């Protein structure tokens, strides 16, 4: 017989999904250990698990999946074909409806523009401490997008307002915000999306302790530091209004020792994620919870507490490194709310990670 872990690995379903399908009466294990509660499956059930995984990826409702599995087991090919054809027709109707809605939305957008990066008619010049700008770039660089279909996310937003420079990067799955003090700018707010190659060239210049000079002239961004200069064009795309994305409901806060928590993540249990990430590959998940004593724990595989929050482990490790502090604050809200990673001495610099659903 196959263990639930082996069934998950070979059948294309996560362990948590197999537990869910058992409770839902879709794919029950052949035997459950009465002492440990561990689930075991017959070898013949592997084909059903693979079929179930395919049907769920195609978006078929559980009620229909039960019928398909019953027809499959009973060799009722006509029933199975009929259910598949009916679901395909529903998908086609849904796609047609979605195309209509998106067409309407595009028309609305054509008539309603609220760009984050408004056109500039004057040159913006300011001074910023080189170490602060370097630290800000280091804090957000990991979260920048690389998806060619979303070019507006392939850079770092430089948001200048009220004597402060905020740097923002996001790839939809995570977002990072950092800030640095500025002097010499008293005009209206200015934004520019600096492409990643230019942002990296800027970071390479910021090796000294003195001030750096930043200028935004139309679509051209220039940085001078230690008698060296780099310059380039900003991205010709509007960056999403990140201010709307950081207004999160309050969650439970916990201080963590960064090094110890990183080690706990690297050596602790993980769960396989059926949903593929932005690179098209599956990712390991770390499941977290704040205990009653205010500590963050990495949950075991069998821990199904409703307050657990699952996140991409690799993304979380990147965010902890970018936090650049020996101690950080983790803020966990509902399982569907983003996980926030904040600095105790500067909560204006933080990262957000989108959670991942544990069950279908």
pLDDT digits (tens, 9 = 90+) for 217-247: 989 999 999 989 999 999 987 888 888 777 7
Rounded Cα–Cα distance for residues 162 and 183 (Å): 10
Give the relative orientation of helices 77-111 and 62-73 as an angle to the nearest 10 degrees: 150
In DSSP terms, 2 is beta-bridged to 41
Closest CA to 92 of 58, 118, 131, 50: 58
Domain 124-243 has what CATH class?
A: alpha beta
pLDDT given at position 360: 47
Query: Higher model confidence: residue 342 or residue 112?
Result: 342
pLDDT given at position 210: 92
Least confident of 21-25, 286-290, 342-346: 21-25
pLDDT given at position 280: 52
Structure token pair of residue 336:
């569907």
Phi/psi-derived region of residue 213, left when phi > 0, alpha when psi is between -120 and 50, beta in every other case: beta
* Domain 2-90 identical in fold to domain 248-353: no
Instruction: Over range 261-287, report the average pLDDT.
Output: 77
Residue 202 pLDDT > 90, yes or no?
yes
**pLDDT band at residue 287 under the 50/70/90 scheme:** very high
- pLDDT more than 90, % of the chain: 48
pLDDT given at position 214: 96
Return the residue matching tokens 């690995």: 9
Residues 135, 136, 137, CA angle at the centre, nearest 5°? Answer: 90
pLDDT digit string (tens) for 67-115?
898 888 887 888 889 899 999 998 988 888 888 788 778 767 765 654 5
Residue 265 pLDDT > 50, yes or no?
yes
pTM above the 0.75 mark?
no
**Range 2-90: architecture per CATH:** Orthogonal Bundle (1.10)
Rounded Cα–Cα distance for residues 347 and 360 (Å): 35
Cβ atoms of 238 and 116 closer than 8 Å: yes
Mean pLDDT estimate for the chain: 87
Phi/psi-derived region of residue 163, left when phi > 0, alpha when psi is between -120 and 50, beta in every other case: left
Domain ranges of the chain: 2-90, 124-243, 248-353
Cβ atoms of 251 and 329 closer than 8 Å: no
DSSP per position, 270-289:
-EE-SS--TTSS--EEEEEE
pLDDT given at position 286: 92
Range list of H helices, the chain: 4-11, 15-23, 45-57, 62-73, 77-111, 130-140, 196-205, 242-245, 258-267, 313-323
Q: What CATH code is assigned to 248-353?
A: 3.10.150.10
In DSSP terms, 161 is beta-bridged to 164
């Amino acid at each position: 017989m196959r263990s639930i872990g082996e069934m998950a690995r070979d059948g294309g379903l996560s362990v948590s999904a197999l537990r869910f399908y058992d409770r839902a009466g879709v794919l029950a294990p052949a035997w459950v250990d009465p002492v440990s509660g561990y689930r075991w499956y017959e070898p013949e059930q592997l084909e059903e698990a693979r079929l179930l995984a395919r049907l769920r990826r195609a978006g078929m409702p559980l009620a229909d999946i039960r019928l398909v599995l019953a027809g499959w087991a009973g060799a009722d090919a006509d029933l199975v074909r009929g259910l598949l054809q009916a679901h395909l027709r529903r998908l086609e109707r849904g796609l047609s409806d979605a195309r209509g809605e998106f067409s309407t939305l595009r028309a609305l957008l054509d008539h309603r523009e609220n760009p984050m990066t408004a056109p500039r008619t004057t040159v913006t010049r300011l001074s910023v401490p080189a170490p602060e700008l370097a630290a800000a770039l280091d804090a957000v660089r990991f979260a920048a997008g690389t998806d060619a279909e979303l070019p507006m996310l392939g850079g770092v937003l430089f948001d200048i307002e009220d004597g402060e420079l905020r740097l923002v990067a996001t790839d939809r799955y995570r977002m990072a915000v950092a800030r640095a003090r500025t002097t010499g700018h008293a005009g209206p707010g200015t934004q520019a999306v600096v492409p990643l190659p230019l942002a990296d060239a800027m970071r390479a210049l910021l090796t000294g302790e003195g001030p750096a000079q930043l200028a935004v002239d139309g679509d051209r961004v220039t940085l001078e530091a230690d008698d060296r200069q780099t310059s380039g064009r900003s991205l010709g795309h509007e960056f999403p209004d990140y201010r709307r994305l950081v207004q999160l409901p309050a969650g439970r806060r916990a201080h963590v020792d960064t090094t110890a928590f990183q080690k706990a993540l690297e050596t602790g249990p993980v769960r396989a994620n059926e949903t593929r990430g932005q690179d098209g590959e599956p990712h390991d998940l770390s499941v977290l919870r704040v205990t009653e004593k205010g500590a963050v724990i990495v949950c075991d595989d069998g821990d199904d507490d409703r307050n657990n929050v699952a996140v991409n482990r690799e993304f979380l490790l990147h965010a902890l490194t970018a936090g650049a502090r020996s101690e950080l604050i983790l803020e966990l809200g509902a399982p569907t709310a983003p996980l926030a990673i904040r600095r105790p001495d500067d909560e204006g610099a933080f990262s957000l990670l989108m959670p991942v659903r544990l069950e279908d």
